[in-house]
Amino acid sequence: MKIFYKTKHVLVVLFVTVLILTTLAGTKSAFADDSINAKLSQTKDDVAKLLKIQDDMTIPTGPKQKMEIDLRREIISNVIDVAQSQLSDVQNQLSSSTLPKNDEWNNVRNYLLNILNQDSSYYDNTQSSLQDNQDMTAADLKSFARALEAMKSNNIDKDVARANNVLAAVNINSVLSVADDRLSKVGIDVNRIYSNKLTQNQALRNLYNQAAENLKNAHALNDDSSQAILNLYTSTTTTSTDEFVATLKEKILSQKISSIEAQYPLTDTSTIRVTQDDIDSYIANTVSEAYNNIKNAYDTFINMSVNVKKYLQ
C-alpha cells in the first residue's frame, strides 16, 4: 500500500517541488513568461484531474488508461519545461552577474555554469525521450517520472541552490557598501548630538554601536561564505584549497556533532561524517545570517531615525 501511494503521487511531488522552487527562486523569466504561467496552471489542473480519474471506478478500463497516459505525459512535459525555465534563469543570472574580476571568481562561475549546462542538457534529452517514445504505458511513464524526480531532487535542484548561494553571496557586497555608507552618515549625526550635548541619554549611542556590530558581523560572515565558495565551488584545487576544505569540514563536523548531542545525548557520533549537503547548508546559512545582520542594522537605523531628527531639527 505504501509503494502504491508513492507511485500514485510521484507526479504530485514533481509538480509541487517545481512550483515551490520556482517561487522561492523568484525567477524573472518564469513568471514574466505567460507560457510558463500557463503551464504551471495547466499542470496543477492536470494533476487534480489525474488523481480524480484514478479514484473514479465508473470509467471503463480502456478509456481510463488512455486518459491517464495522456495526462501523465502532459504533466511530465510541462514539469520539464518549467524546471528548464528556472534553470535557464539561474544560468543567465550567473552569466551576467557582476562577480569580482579575478581568476578565482571566474573559476567559480565557469565551474557552476558547466554543471548547469549539463543539467540543461539532461532536461533537453529527457524531453526528447518523452516525445520520441509515444508508445509508453502508464507504468513506463510512472518509472519515467520517478527517474526525473530523483535526478531533479538529488542533483539538479542542489546545483541550482549552489548557484543561488553564489549570487546571494556576491550581492551582499553591494548591499554592505550601501549599509556602511548609511552607518557612516548616522555616526556623524550621533556624534553631533553628543558633542553638542543635546542629550545625556546613551540610548542612541548604544543603538549605533549595535548597528555597527551587526554590520561588522555581516562583513565577517560574508568573508566566510566567499572563502568557502572560492575553495569549494571550483575545479581548480591547490594545497591551500585542500587545507581550507579540511579545516571547514572539521568545523562543520564539530557543529553537527554538538547539535546531535544536544538533542540526543547518548548518540554514538563516531560514525558521523560531513556530506556535500552539509557543506552547501553551511554556505547557505552563512549567507542568510549575513543578510539577517544587515537587516537588523537597518531595523536599528529606523529605530534611531525619529530621535535623531528630533534632536537635530
Residue 105, all three cell numbers: 571568481
Mean pLDDT, range 51-77, rounded to an integer: 83
Is 4 or 154 the better-scoring residue by pLDDT?
A: 154
Domain identity same for 165 and 234: no
Q: What is the pLDDT of residues 139-187, one digit of tens each?
A: 999 899 999 999 999 999 999 999 999 999 999 988 999 999 999 999 9
Between CA 216 and CA 88 the distance in angstroms is 35
Q: What is the pLDDT of residues 102-146, one digit of tens each?
A: 899 999 999 999 999 999 999 999 999 999 999 999 899 989 999
Domain identity same for 105 and 227: no
**Lowest mean pLDDT segment, chosen from 48-52, 140-144, 192-196, 280-284:** 48-52
- pLDDT attached to residue 19: 47
Domain identity same for 188 and 260: yes
- pLDDT attached to residue 11: 56
Q: Is the dihedral of CA 230, 235, 240, 242 positive or negative?
A: positive
At CA 251, angle to CA 269 and CA 171, rounded to 5? 135
Residue position matching grid coordinates 523569466: 29
Domain identity same for 147 and 230: no
- Fill in the amino acid letter for 53: I
CB 225 within 8 A of CB 286: yes
Question: Given 170, 196, 219, which residue is the final one in a domain?
Answer: 170
Mean pLDDT, range 274-303, rounded to an integer: 95
- pLDDT attached to residue 5: 41
Q: What is the pLDDT of residues 21-54, one digit of tens each?
A: 444 444 444 444 666 777 777 777 777 777 887 7
Quickly state the pLDDT bin for 2 (edges 50, 70, 90).
Answer: very low
Residue position matching grid coordinates 554538538: 258
Whether the model pTM is above 0.85 = no
Domain identity same for 181 and 210: yes
- pLDDT attached to residue 10: 54
- pLDDT attached to residue 235: 86
Domain identity same for 184 and 143: no
Terminal-residue alpha carbon distance, the chain:
73
Quickly state the pLDDT bin for 14 (edges 50, 70, 90).
Answer: low
- pLDDT attached to residue 62: 83
- pLDDT attached to residue 33: 62
Domain identity same for 129 and 195: no
- pLDDT attached to residue 298: 95
**By residue range, what is the domain housing residue 206?**
172-312
- pLDDT attached to residue 28: 45
Domain identity same for 155 and 196: no
Q: How many domains does the chain have?
A: 2
Mean pLDDT, range 208-218, rounded to an integer: 97
What mean pLDDT is reported for the chain? 86
Between CA 157 and CA 153 the distance in angstroms is 5
Quickly state the pLDDT bin for 66 (edges 50, 70, 90).
Answer: confident
Domain identity same for 235 and 265: yes
- pLDDT attached to residue 3: 38
Question: Given 152, 170, 188, which residue is the final one in a domain?
Answer: 170
Query: Does residue 305 have a pLDDT over 50?
Result: yes
Looking from the CA of 256 toward its CB, the CA atoms found within 13 Å total 19
Domain identity same for 152 and 20: yes
CB atoms within 10 A of CB 15: 21
Domain identity same for 134 and 183: no
What is the DSSP track for the chain? -HHHHHHHTHHHHHHHHHHHHHHHHT-HHHHH-HHHHHHHHHHHHHHHHHHHHHH-TTS-HHHHHHHHHHHHHHHHHHHHHHHHHHHHHHHHHHHHS---SSHHHHHHHHHHHHHHHHHHHHHHHHHHHHHH-TT--HHHHHHHHHHHHHHIIIIIHHHHHHHHHHHHHHHHHHHHHHHHHHHHHHHHHHHHHHHTTS----HHHHHHHHHHHHHHHHHHHHHHHHHHHHHHS-S---HHHHHHHHHHHHHHHHHHHHHHHHH-TT---TT----HHHHHHHHHHHHHHHHHHHHHHHHHHHHHHHHHHHHH-
Query: Does residue 7 have a pLDDT over 70?
Result: no
Between CA 10 and CA 275 the distance in angstroms is 26
Query: Does residue 221 have a pLDDT over 90?
Result: yes
Residue 218, all three cell numbers: 555581516
Residue (of 30, 151, 24) closest to 92 by Cα position: 30
Domain identity same for 259 and 241: yes
Between CA 264 and CA 139 the distance in angstroms is 43
Question: Given 139, 170, 201, which residue is the final one in a domain?
Answer: 170
